[in-house]
Amino acid sequence: MDARVSIIPEPMAATDVQPVVDGVTAALIRKIVHVDMDAFYASVEQRDNPELRGKPVVVAWLGNRSVVCAASYEARRYGIRSAMPAVSAKRLCPDAIFVPPDFVRYKAVSSAVREIFQRHTDLVEPLSLDEAYLDVSENKLHLPTATRVAKMIREQIREELNLTASAGVAPNKFLAKIASDWKKPNGLFVIQPHEVQSFLLPLPVGRIPGVGQVTEKRMKAFGIATVGDLYSRELSALENQFGSYGLRLYQLARGIDNNPVMSNRVTKSISAEDTFAEDIPLAATEPQIRLLAEKVWKSSGGNARAAKTVVLKLKTKEFHSLTRSLTPPAPPASCEELASIALALRERIQLQPAQLFRLVGVGLSNFQTADDPASPLFLEEPRETSR
Ligand SMILES: [Mg+2]
């Protein structure tokens, strides 16, 4: 399976839009830093409990349907990865120490990290509790380069919080994210604007954020193994094969990503999705829906109760997306309840039983704010989109 969990913030306010000069977006060469804490939850546990240091630590609830929230680097040596079932982790390393997640503590540490970021820039876009994009084109300490900013942030995190972070520095978000992963853990990697093509073209397509194992395999079947292979394809060929994602791939192969860093956004939705290794009929999707519900529940870090709407997303073999959503009278109070709502939404997909699906996703959206009481029961109109 090819699992992705995403936390989608509110869309940016109109004032955040980049200035436009003669129809061209200005300041496209930005200085972006992507900071990613190393094995975050597991590192916090090891930091706070000396007995866990140097040992394989798995942050997960133990249970048949639980998934790994984080694994220490010692545990990763056994092949343990986050988002894998906890039972698989146990099988890979029976001696691993399982620690139940403590999101309240992780959130507090995350806020301390955010405070460090904000000494350098207010343009901070968190992706999750442990990673964020920073636009440091202008930075508060007036350091001359983004590399200097990234170095100082890493030092401050190490000295003040006793944790390590990896950072990537690049002219845009897409490249900065690849760069932060390049020297992980505890590394810094810089991609200068003139190095983009030579760095990018030899990379396997699986390095592109969003291209998981399954998509990578499908691309290989079309003769696309590296970013260079992707670069050599016509836009129309990519669009035929991958729908509107084709344009994004075409641009990424050229190192183009004009998405600005969007700060001050409130979480709007949390979702997780899996692309199946083989396309499957609707009736066979229940185990995945249950697993995804659990991932979403955990990613919400205890905040799931504040989400008013449950969303089920499916993508057909032919890349048509379908979404069904429900806003129940009260937000789901347990992971089981979230899973059963998602499964009930599945009943509202009315296609031929023979229809095959390539992807399923479960999400929570429409997060409640303090001054916004829960809305009464209503069923949203089914919305179908294709991409
Ligand atoms: Mg991380």
Ligand 1: centre distance to CA 92 (Å): 21
Radius of gyration of the chain (CA): 21
Record the pTM.
0.69
Question: Taking ligand 1, which is a single-atom ion, which protein residues have CB atoms under 5 Å away?
Answer: 36-37, 40, 130
Amino acid at position 253, single letter: A
Q: Which long-range contacts (CB under 8 A, 24 or more apart) does 337-345 make?
A: 338/293, 338/296, 338/297, 338/304, 338/310, 338/362, 338/364, 339/289, 339/290, 339/293, 339/294, 341/310, 342/289, 342/292, 342/293, 342/310, 342/312, 343/286, 343/289, 343/290, 345/310, 345/311, 345/312
Catalytic entry in 131, 160, 273, 294 = 131
Amino acid at position 287, single letter: P
Under DSSP, the state recorded for 41 is H
Ligand 1: centre distance to CA 131 (Å): 6
List where CATH 3.40.1170.60 sits in the chain: 40-102
pLDDT tens string for the chain (387 positions)? 445 666 555 444 333 333 333 333 444 579 999 999 999 999 999 999 999 999 999 999 887 778 899 999 999 999 999 889 899 999 999 999 999 999 889 999 999 999 999 999 999 999 888 999 999 999 999 999 999 999 999 999 999 999 999 999 999 999 999 999 999 999 999 999 999 999 999 999 999 988 888 889 989 999 999 999 999 999 999 999 888 788 999 999 999 999 899 886 556 778 888 888 889 999 999 999 998 998 888 777 656 567 788 999 999 988 888 999 988 888 888 888 899 999 999 998 988 889 999 999 999 887 765 333 332 222 222 333 333
Ligand 1: centre distance to CA 40 (Å): 5
Ligand 1: centre distance to CA 296 (Å): 17
Architecture field, domain 40-102? 3-Layer(aba) Sandwich (3.40)
Ligand 1: centre distance to CA 261 (Å): 19
Ligand 1: centre distance to CA 37 (Å): 4
Active site residue 131: yes
Give the CATH superfamily of 267-386: DNA polymerase, Y-family, little finger domain (3.30.1490.100)
How many residues are given for the chain? 387
List where CATH 3.30.1490.100 sits in the chain: 267-386
Ligand 1: centre distance to CA 34 (Å): 11
Ligand 1: centre distance to CA 22 (Å): 40
